[in-house]
Amino acid sequence: MNPQQDILLEVSGLKVAYGGIQAVKGVHFEVRQGELVSLIGANGAGKTTTLKAVTGLQPVADGDVKYLGQSIKGQGPWDLVKQGLVMVPEGRGTFTRMTITENLQMGAYLRSDKAGIEADIERIFGIFPRLKERRAQLAGTMSGGEQQMLAMGRALMAKPKVLLLDEPSMGLSPIMVDKIFEVVNDIHKQGVTVLLVEQNASRALQLANRGYVMESGLVTMTGEGQSLLNDPKVRAAYLGE
């Protein structure tokens, strides 16, 4: 089989500017069917801006983004969700005045299969039992970790082909960080292709099939997750060694 055939997401020469600053300066990376790919780097490296450009939330100044072999540059986030490209944003973005169940239903707003939606809500409750216990609770009254679970569950309701996660562990307690990474790993094992943007380089690379290191708007290193984890440069820059 042609190895190019299983590339779901391909970013080439991506440049993004805002406020007169070129935040992303010509980034190349790809995500293949069934992979978990981690994009790591320090705060301000351009990781979140890259994800926003990929998902239509930030205009692309130059370069291209291909999904399923077709350019998606200029398409809106709602169009991309329909096609299975779904992001969990940094900061979670839950609907704070809606209940947990209502938030999950919003994740399925493009679907019309009522029975399938109900079954998937129960599946999400199986992944996140804490959400099931509190299904009638308003999202805004939940802890940060619980809101992160809800944001991930809501994204899964859209049945993503590629799930993009932006800093899922940010601001969470160590116990909740463990839980979130455990769930990311489980989601990937269930067959969802994942692009994980994460400052916690060690945890992100432990999970990753492959990783990319971003610095100052450029990809400076790439390799298998384990080889990057063992690389002296990566360890010195991101793992404090």
| Tokens coding 172 | 């969470």
Q: Whose structure tokens read 């999970």?
A: 207
Query: For residue range 101-128, what is the model confidence (pLDDT) as tens digits?
Result: 999 999 999 889 999 999 999 999 999 9
CB atoms under 10 Å from CB of 100, counted, come to 30
- E strand or H helix at 223, and its extent? strand 218-224
The arithmetic mean of pLDDT across residues 14-42, rounded, is 94
Query: For residue range 86-103, what is the model confidence (pLDDT) as tens digits?
Result: 999 887 789 999 999 999
Determine the Cα–Cα distance for residues 215 and 203; give it in Å rounded to an integer. 19
Domain annotation for the chain: domains and CATH numbers: 3-93+157-238 (3.40.50.300)
Compute the chain's Rg from CA coordinates: 17
The arithmetic mean of pLDDT across residues 181-187, rounded, is 94
| Tokens coding 68 | 């399923």
Do the beta carbons of residue 67 and residue 115 sit within 8 Å? Answer: no
The angle formed by the CA atoms of residues 96, 191 and 144, to the nearest 5 degrees, is 25
Give 57: exposed, middle or buried? Use CB within 10 Å, 0-12, 13-18, 19+: middle
Predicted confidence (pLDDT) at residue 2 exceeds the cutoff of 50:
no
Region for residue 13 given its phi and psi (left: phi exceeds 0; alpha: psi -120 to 50; beta: otherwise): left
Q: Which amino acid type is present at position 66?
A: K
The arithmetic mean of pLDDT across residues 195-205, rounded, is 94
Determine the Cα–Cα distance for residues 170 and 47; give it in Å rounded to an integer. 14
Q: Strands 36-40 and 210-215, how do they pair?
A: parallel
Predicted confidence (pLDDT) at residue 186 exceeds the cutoff of 90:
yes
Give 67: exposed, middle or buried? Use CB within 10 Å, 0-12, 13-18, 19+: buried
The arithmetic mean of pLDDT across residues 151-159, rounded, is 95
Query: For residue range 52-81, what is the model confidence (pLDDT) as tens digits?
Result: 999 999 999 999 999 999 999 999 998 999
